[in-house]
Amino acid sequence: MKIVITDASFANIIPETDAVAGAGIELVLAQCKTAEDVMNATADADGMIVQWAPITATVIDNLTRCKVIVRYGIGVDNVDLAAARQKGIAVCNVPDYCIDEVADHTVSLALAHARQLVQIDMRIRAGVWKIYPDKPMPSFSEMTFATAGYGRIARAVLDRARAFGFRTAAYDPFVAPPSDHVTSLSLDELFRQADILSLHVPLSPESKHLVNADRLAQMKPTAIIVNTARGGLIDTTALANALQAGTIAAAGLDVFESEPLEEYHPLRKCPNALLTSHVAWFSERSVPKLQRMAAQEAVRALQGEPLRNQVNK
């Protein structure tokens, strides 16, 4: 049997090699960029592990032996789930390798804005010394930290926010937050009430541009948006316009509709936007953990064992 890693940006594939050792499985690393590259590398693959390469319907139709496609990470936007389901190929992700890292990064972005660290730093560098902030700065205990979504990462984020004294709330049409410490909100209430709104929902046709010009207009002018989930959840041009107009106060973004962020994107001109380059997932621990867990899931599929995280049942 053969597992093909279609593409990987890691320093090595030692964790994957260790995971398949003794299973009688050949492991092959390809660095595919296009669908054609993937087809050439995987026609006889029994399993695939993919990072960014496009796994289109055409790619899937070309597979002759494949039983499983495992995505390095949480999102599976680059895999045609319907085509895989139709062909009987399981698609799996690794949703639990970087929960702490993403939650920490999310709250870091939120706190930096809530305490106006970027603006105060810029003010000092410009030669201005003041012991008061330029804009209102409420106590955390007076602010509502809300999440769109109430999955693993959202819960970890709200746990951290609660430790800082925030009121916590969440919107999730599928999971009811516990009423004793997380207030359940409707979607309209989420945008109207959040002082900090953090996005933690998957990207789908229904959630694309969940944050748009109309929704931004519903928010408090002091509100902060954080996105460490999927770039397509926000209409980033509308967000840039809202930041420049003062419709909302600030944004902390780790993911973007197009990556890398375009050189002339208007977000780059927003001093009230704190931008990071899709690094929320990263730590020295999370990388090998991701590699190992992805390979272990592929091995389970080829050995006929129950899968932990199939997303296209």
Q: Does residue 262 carry a catalytic annotation? A: no
For residue 252, the SS3 value is: strand
How are beta strands 167-171 and 47-50 bridged, if at all?
unpaired
CB 157 within 8 A of CB 200: yes
- Helical axes 152-163 vs 99-114, angle rounded to 10°: 40
Name the active-site residue from 160, 167, 215, 230. 230
Task: Please indicate whether residue 142 is annotated as part of the active site.
Answer: no
> Per the residue annotation, which of 85, 209, 278, 308 is the catalytic one?
278
Cα 257 from Cα 232, distance rounded (Å): 5
Q: Using alpha carbons only, what angle is made at residue 70 by residues 65 and 76, rounded to the nearest 5 degrees?
A: 120
Q: Which residues contact 113 (CB under 8 A, 6 or more apart)?
A: 196, 224, 249, 250, 251, 252, 272, 274
Give the bridge partners for 310, in sequence order. Answer: 92
In whole angstroms, what is the distance from residue 9 CA to residue 50 CA? 11
Pairing of the two strands 26-29 and 47-50: unpaired
Reduce the DSSP state of residue 243 to 3 states and report it.
Answer: helix
Residue 278 is among the residues annotated as catalytic for this protein: yes
Question: Which candidate in 259, 262, 285, 305 is catalytic?
Answer: 259
Indicate which residues carry an active-site annotation.
230, 259, 278
